[in-house]
Amino acid sequence: MRFEVETTIPTAHGTFRVRAYTDLEHGSEHLALIAGDLRGALPPLVRLHSECLTGEALGSLKCECGPQLQAAMDAVAVSGGVVLYLRGHEGRGIGLVNKLRAYRLQEDGFDTLDANLQLGLPADAREYDGAVAMLRDLGIESVRLLTNNPLKAQALIDHGITVAERVPLEVGVNSVNRDYLRTKAERMGHLLHVDEQDASGHDQ
């Protein structure tokens, strides 16, 4: 992982120091969006956020990625911490075109996991070596991890990063993606409470 440049970007969520990195092994370019002091009394709040063009740029309702990114930036801007924006993770690492192929299979009744498997692809192809390298470059060895996915926490732990706390990020539930989120909870181990929220994402 090679650090490239640091600059400041004002956003609707607050002003962030943004550090850009190049993953020399995979050729991907990643960002660290930093707010506040990373060396406070508590471990910094950290979000490992996978790029999602459809959810973030197009506003797709099939996933919760856009609302998750917005909520993560809001939370980090308030409490201090880092959002690691991980490119090359589209579709849980299978790429944009294959993600759309999986969407097409979902129209035929496959769930999000079985659609990937039907294409001969893993349910989740992401790896987090790059995220660990970025955290270490920032001097972070312990985090409060903003995630519903226990595999992200385990990936950091396996690389020697302490996960002091898992902070839930349950946003973006709607009538279109409810079954998708239920599959993540029931078949992929995500820590979600889909059936406890109404279609607008509010607690019942």
Catalytic residues: 124, 126
Tokens of 137: 């470059």
Radius of gyration of the chain (CA): 17
Contacts of 99 (CB under 8 A, 6+ apart): 54, 90, 91
Classified as helix, coil or strand, 143 is strand
Tell me the C-alpha distance between 123 and 108, whole Å.
18
Angle of helix 129-137 relative to helix 150-158, nearest 10 degrees, comes to: 60
Give the integer Cα–Cα distance in Å for 94 and 105: 15
Q: Is 177 helix (H, G, I), strand (E, B) or coil?
A: coil
Residue 192: which of 163, 171, 164, 177 has the closest Cα? 171
CA–CA dist 40, 37 (Å, integer): 6
Contact 28, 1 (CB under 8 A): no
Residues annotated in the binding site for GTP, as ranges? Answer: 47-51, 68, 90-92, 112, 147, 152
